[in-house]
Amino acid sequence: MTSEFLKYQAQTTPHPLALEISHANGSFIYDTNNKAYLDFVAGVSASPLGHNHPRVIRAIKQQLDKYMHVMVYGEYIQKPAVELTKLLAKNLPKPLEKTYLTNSGTEAIEGALKLAKRATGRSEIIAANKAYHGNTMGSMSVMGFEERKQAFRPLLPDVRFINFNSIKDLEKITTQTACVILETIQGGAGFIEPANNYLAKVRKKCNDVGALLILDEIQPGIGRTGKLFGFENYNCIPDILVTGKALGGGMPIGAFTASTNLMDLLMDNPKLGHITTFGGHPVIAASALATLKEITESELIPQTLEKEKLFRKLLVHSLIKDVRGKGLMLAIILDSAKITNQLILKSQNKGLILFWLLFEEKAVRITPPLTISEEDIIKGCSIIIDVLNEIQQA
Ligand SMILES: Cc1ncc(COP(=O)(O)O)c(C=O)c1O
């Protein structure tokens, strides 16, 4: 099917990995030759319970038997969406209470940016260099990587960039600023954590000038960093929280959450301030609800920190310069893009799935399902060390 894949399905790179998938289960994906691949990527952090988790599958099937799409977002009362937003509120600190469900992360970012403009009446948006927030026009405008966006200009006006973790740059946040948008942990940049109470300092500056703080938790969110939400590690509560990826439990979703006062602004002046046909889809909401219940009712969240320790103990090699990140959001830092490519491709041949980060060419992503066993962590890390030995000896 490779030639049809390349001929009919639009590609994003000239060299896709092109693994032909037969099925997937737990921490393993199987190709059409029935070769098993241990999954250290989890669909780029979007399959937190691994593949085909029974609780998620059951919830989806039960909802399928009742109803699928019946009406555009927000008009009818559909239990899965109501229960999902209620459970999010229960697990979030005040004043984060009301959630708007979207179809993807980038759409949730668009909604959050619109809400910040509507709430403040200001237009300036401050984002971070090397930030990634999605690929639609608004999200791309706040992407801090010129090379990937110059072909699509003009983008949103009034966007300014600061360096993540620079206290000096906080001066750029002023009474002109509608919002500051940051990833809680910078993903594409190489899994860069906020340092020296940075997010709390951004929070304070935003309060001082009346700007809103948007935190993008699309990657670190939903249990991956030892807390349900990444921001809980860093002494800072955003005005608008954006989630996605893992929230759907393998189904497409995005969400933005804010206080009731803020969120209700989208209802009027203008009315229908943000609308979508499929956001809050009952089957997807059922999958998300089952996923969120499983993650919050089990020991998976504290276990991420134990599993991180195991990864750090095993990922020791002279070609590994650093292991960055937190919990099960880890990146191996190597010496060159060449070694990164070799490690990812050779590991795939040996049955281990690894992946790149968007902007940091020396990084290899390790974001396995939260459910991965210690035995499989040991197995996957030994493949990585074997491949690094081969690269070193070549
Ligand atoms: C931090 C971050 N924000 C936003 C997005 C966009 O989400 P989606 O691809 O669902 O539109 C991503 C996706 O990789 C992301 O990592």
The whole-number mean pLDDT for each consecutive block of 10 residues of the chain, a chain of 394 residues, reads 95 94 98 98 98 98 98 97 98 98 98 98 98 98 96 97 98 98 98 98 98 98 98 97 98 98 96 97 98 98 98 98 98 98 98 98 98 98 98 94
- Maximal C-alpha separation, the chain: 66
Query: Strands across the sheet with 21-25, in order?
Result: 21-25, 28-31, 36-39, 352-353
Point out the ligand 1 atom lying closest to the alpha carbon of residue 252. 10
Distance 32 CA to ligand 1 centre (A): 29
Nearest CA to ligand 1 atom 7: 105
Nearest CA to ligand 1 atom 8: 105
Judgement on whether residues 172 and 244 belong to the same structural domain of the protein: yes
Distance CA(80)–CA(97), nearest Å, equals 17
Judgement on whether residues 83 and 191 belong to the same structural domain of the protein: yes
Going by the DSSP 8-state scheme, the letter that residue 147 receives in this structure is G
Distance 106 CA to ligand 1 centre (A): 6
pLDDT at 357: 97
Distance 367 CA to ligand 1 centre (A): 14
Judgement on whether residues 165 and 201 belong to the same structural domain of the protein: yes
Distance 218 CA to ligand 1 centre (A): 6
For residue 299, report the phi and psi dihedrals to the nearest 5 degrees: -95, 15
Point out the ligand 1 atom lying closest to the alpha carbon of residue 104. 10
The verdict on the CB of residue 104 being under 6 Å from ligand 1 is yes
pLDDT at 328: 98
pLDDT at 106: 98
Domain, as residue range, for 318:
2-53+299-393
Point out the ligand 1 atom lying closest to the alpha carbon of residue 358. 14
pLDDT at 323: 98
How many Å separate Cα 128 from the centre of its chain?
16
Q: Please give the structure tokens belonging to residue 312.
A: 């750090």
The verdict on the CB of residue 133 being under 6 Å from ligand 1 is yes
Which of 269, 297, 325 is a domain's end point?
Answer: 297
Distance CA(347)–CA(327), nearest Å, equals 22
Nearest CA to ligand 1 atom 6: 134
Distance 391 CA to ligand 1 centre (A): 32
The verdict on the CB of residue 218 being under 6 Å from ligand 1 is yes
Helix, strand, coil distribution of the chain in percent, nearest 5: 40, 20, 40
Check which CATH number belongs to the domain holding 99 and give it: 3.40.640.10
Judgement on whether residues 179 and 94 belong to the same structural domain of the protein: yes
153-195 residue pLDDT tens: 999 999 999 999 999 999 999 999 999 999 999 999 999 999 9
pLDDT at 179: 98
Going by the DSSP 8-state scheme, the letter that residue 335 receives in this structure is S
pLDDT at 256: 98
Distance 28 CA to ligand 1 centre (A): 23
Query: Strands across the sheet with 124-128, in order?
Result: 98-102, 254-258, 240-244, 212-216, 177-183, 124-128, 159-162
Q: How would you class 127 by CB atoms within 10 Å of its CB: exposed for 0-12, middle for 13-18, buried for 19 or more?
A: buried
Point out the ligand 1 atom lying closest to the alpha carbon of residue 245. 10
Place of tokens 């709430």: 119
Which of 297, 314, 345 is a domain's end point?
Answer: 297
226-273 residue pLDDT tens: 999 999 999 999 999 999 999 999 999 999 999 999 999 999 999 999
Q: How would you class 314 by CB atoms within 10 Å of its CB: exposed for 0-12, middle for 13-18, buried for 19 or more?
A: middle
Q: Which among 107, 142, 141 is positioned nearest to 277, based on CA atoms?
A: 107
Judgement on whether residues 141 and 188 belong to the same structural domain of the protein: yes
Distance CA(291)–CA(57), nearest Å, equals 10
pLDDT at 275: 97
Sign of the CA dihedral 288, 264, 186, 224? negative
pTM: 0.97
Task: Look at strands 322-326 and 329-333 and give their pairing.
Answer: antiparallel
Which of 278, 297, 316 is a domain's end point?
Answer: 297
Residue pair 363/187 in contact by the 8 Å Cβ criterion: no
Distance CA(328)–CA(356), nearest Å, equals 15
pLDDT at 3: 94
Judgement on whether residues 139 and 221 belong to the same structural domain of the protein: yes
- Assign 39 to helix, strand or coil: strand
The verdict on the CB of residue 47 being under 6 Å from ligand 1 is no
Q: Which residues pair with 181 in a beta bridge?
A: 214
Judgement on whether residues 228 and 334 belong to the same structural domain of the protein: no
Q: Please give the structure tokens belonging to residue 92.
A: 């979030």
Q: At what angle do helices 374-393 and 337-349 cross, to 10 degrees?
A: 120
pLDDT at 72: 97
Judgement on whether residues 117 and 35 belong to the same structural domain of the protein: no
Point out the ligand 1 atom lying closest to the alpha carbon of residue 109. 4
- Assign 214 to helix, strand or coil: strand
Judgement on whether residues 127 and 195 belong to the same structural domain of the protein: yes
Residue from 106, 136, 191, 360 to probe ligand 1 pocket by mutation (most atoms less than 8 Å from CB): 106
The verdict on the CB of residue 106 being under 6 Å from ligand 1 is yes
Distance 105 CA to ligand 1 centre (A): 5
pLDDT at 386: 98
Point out the ligand 1 atom lying closest to the alpha carbon of residue 139. 4
